[in-house]
Structure 1
Amino acid sequence: MPMNANLHKQKVMKEVQLRHLVSSMNNTKWIALLDAIYDELPFCPPFQIKTVLEQGPYPETFEEEEVTYLGDWLSLQPGLYNVEWVRVKPRMIKPIGRYVEPEVLDIEAEWVALLQRLRIPYIVKHHDYWIYGYATAAEFDQLV
């Protein structure tokens, strides 16, 4: 790991300790999840990410309803140790045409089966799935 990456990781671990966060994922679980998403699901579900050192999530807004884009899960790979949480919508809207209602692609059943098979801890809130890399004690107690 390059020196600046080591420094970044040290900052992340210091913040985790400072905020009394509990680790609920490790690299092995993250990699297994990423591989399964690309290998087993019909599309990569959209997500919102909050990293340990950032004040807010990205993207800043994550529509309460459906979204129309895919998730770029490979973008997480270099800094998995930095993921505080990922909010996932296992569905998306596929526009069909100007005068035709869009199609809702829903893979919630496949998503839950994948999480359970890989033993990925998560919380469900309003049909969105929250996967915590680090959680507060209260969040940790709610993980399935």
Structure 2
Amino acid sequence: MLFIGSADEDANRTIRRAAAERRLSSHMDDTKWRALCLAVAEELPFPPAYQTKLVLSEQLDPEELPLSSTHVGDWARTPEASMGIFIEWLKITPRLSIREGRRLKPRIEDCSDALRQIFIRLQIPFSEEDGFFFIFGHSAGTVFSPMAEQLDHS
């Protein structure tokens, strides 16, 4: 089951007002969030862990995100997950650290290439930095997207 949290009208107004006050541009809509969540669930070997920054909060959730996570992300599979207008940005680690025994080093699975291709195919605005991907629901400036660069060279 795929669930995208939708805000009521009061929440929409509050978020839009906060975004306007901070001069944030919107880059995602519910259709793009749904397509992204569905692609992550259906096409990747694991749902990558992520850190969330919400428009109405200065707190990051979780506070820290390791380059190789030991847990997976909740890409809108439960009603508690709310991808959409609330999200300012996501920081995603495309690596999963899997323990196979106490004495063995963890095995690292990496879905970077597949995730990058999903972003490009769905025209999701993203950037890469230090091994992490960033998706911008809202931003104060221009968001780099390799998709735009590909279109410029076509």
Q: Using structure 1 for the length normalisation, give the TM-score.
A: 0.89
Equivalent runs, 1:65-144 vs 2, <5 Å: 65-74=67-76, 78=82, 80-137=84-141, 140-144=142-146
Structure 2: where are the runs of 5+ without partners? Answer: 1-6, 147-154
Distance 1:141 1:57 in 2: 20
Matched, 1:24 2:33: no
Letter in 2 for 1:92: L
Cα deviation, 1:67-102, whole Å, max 9, x if unaligned, reads 100000115754511110001111110011101111
Letter in 2 for 1:47: Y
Cα deviation, 1:75-133, whole Å, max 9, x if unaligned, reads 57545111100011111100111011110001111111111111111011101000000
Letter in 2 for 1:15: A
Is the 8 Å Cα contact of residues 136 and 143 (structure 2) preserved in structure 1?
no
Distance 2:81 2:33 in 1: 8
Identity %: 28
Distance 2:125 2:83 in 1: 19
Structure with the higher fraction of residues in helix conformation = 1
Aligned length: 138
Distance 2:116 2:107 in 1: 21
Q: State the partner residue of 1:39.
A: 42
Instruction: Measure how far apart 1:57 and its partner are.
Output: 1.2
Q: Using structure 2 for the length normalisation, give the TM-score.
A: 0.84
